[in-house]
Amino acid sequence: MDKIYLNEMKFYGYHGVLPEENRLGQRFWVSIVLSLDLKNAGMSDDLHDTVSYADIFEDVKGIVEGRPFKLLEAVAESIAAVILSKYSKVHSAKIKIIKPDPPIPGHYNSVAVEIERGREIE
């Protein structure tokens, strides 16, 4: 299966369990891997045969910068659900959300959640 990568899109959102996360907000980096057949797009050179990176970016931005979620897992599920419901060419979506500055004492680069969701086969 062919892949489209959207790497480390950067957003500012208000997700988290702690009240200050919902009030002050913080940075979130989102990476997505979409699995789909890109042969027709490669042969036709026509955007209608693939998915628009710009449209996906705007969908993700709307979720990450939209209403607060407590858990990164819920943000990731929401992104996957929108992509799979809106873009019929996408067979599966892997979503990774990085929280580079969580309010956790200690030394680390970041925390992250990664999920992969696909279409149900009937």
99 is a catalytic site residue = yes
Coil, helix or strand at residue 71: coil
CA distance 74 to 33: 18
Helices assigned H by DSSP within 1-122: 19-24, 39-44, 53-64, 72-86
Order of strands across the sheet with 2-13?
2-13, 26-36, 92-99, 111-118
Q: Which of 3, 10, 70, 99 is catalytic?
A: 99
CA dist., res. 54 & res. 118, Å (int)? 21
Q: Which residues are catalytic?
A: 99
